[in-house]
Structure 1
Amino acid sequence: MNAPRQKPIQTGKFCGILLVLVLAFAGFFRIVDASLLVDDPRLADGQFLTLLLVPLVSAGLMVVIVTETVITGYNVIRTDASVTDQLMGRPGYVALRGAEAGTAVAGVLVMVAIVPRLFSEGTPAPAGVGLLLLLLAIGVGILALSLLRSFAELVVYR
């Protein structure tokens, strides 16, 4: 399989997302001790670190996803073949890329809407934990869909 050589950026993205998901799982279920990585005891709890890092990494990944989508759209428009022919040539891949981009943008917008509620004084602690778990779920969803699209691009749609 020559996919890593042909698509080094997708390979790096795939490996990075996989690493983040494995570390998030290990931290959330306290399989790995985060105090080896972080000196501050407040952040050393693997669950708390996971609740902070997964949404941040997902937001950063959204920038990458949108950039990839814009570049691909520009390349589709720029070629001589009609846009319809190009889109209908690989409908599954187009649907997967659209779902990834839509989920990433919508997920980050929801995250941005949730964060102020998290820090408002009227939010009780149990609700704050629920909001953090919602942020984690949205972040894991973005990461998982991006992992699926990267896998499809590397293996299925070479």
Structure 2
Amino acid sequence: MAEQVQAASQAVAMIPAMSAVAHESTLVEVIARLESIERQQDRLHEEFNELKALVQQTREGPERFEKRLDDQIKAFNLDQQRLPARLHNATASKGPNPIKAPPTASGKTPKNFPNTKGEFEHLTRERYETIMVEYGIPISGDITAKRDTLRSFLGIPA
């Protein structure tokens, strides 16, 4: 044990003695380095939070895109189902010509849909509005505007 104490004493003697000024400057350097490390940690924390937000958006993004795509596909398919009736209606140039009702979003035809172009031209404001609601067409304007909007939607010539 005496040998260990002697070896420790020699090791301590080899350490150069520092002055108070040297201790103070070393302490200032250590504090400056710690502050730099803290700033770096704050910056990394902010970057990490930004990356978390981006990952979260990426997770939500594909689902929203898929929903919008599904909605667009449904709208396209519905327009395709409506096309034969609209093409038929395009040939209805006179009052007694028959017209067909395109399917609504539910796949059904509107209640009280007119059978001919003449009957369509003489519907009441309420019947135009009922048909527009069933097709999801915005209702605005007077009876002439409603008739023209619905005529255009159904493919009936003026």
TM-score of the aligned structures, taking structure 1 as reference length: 0.23
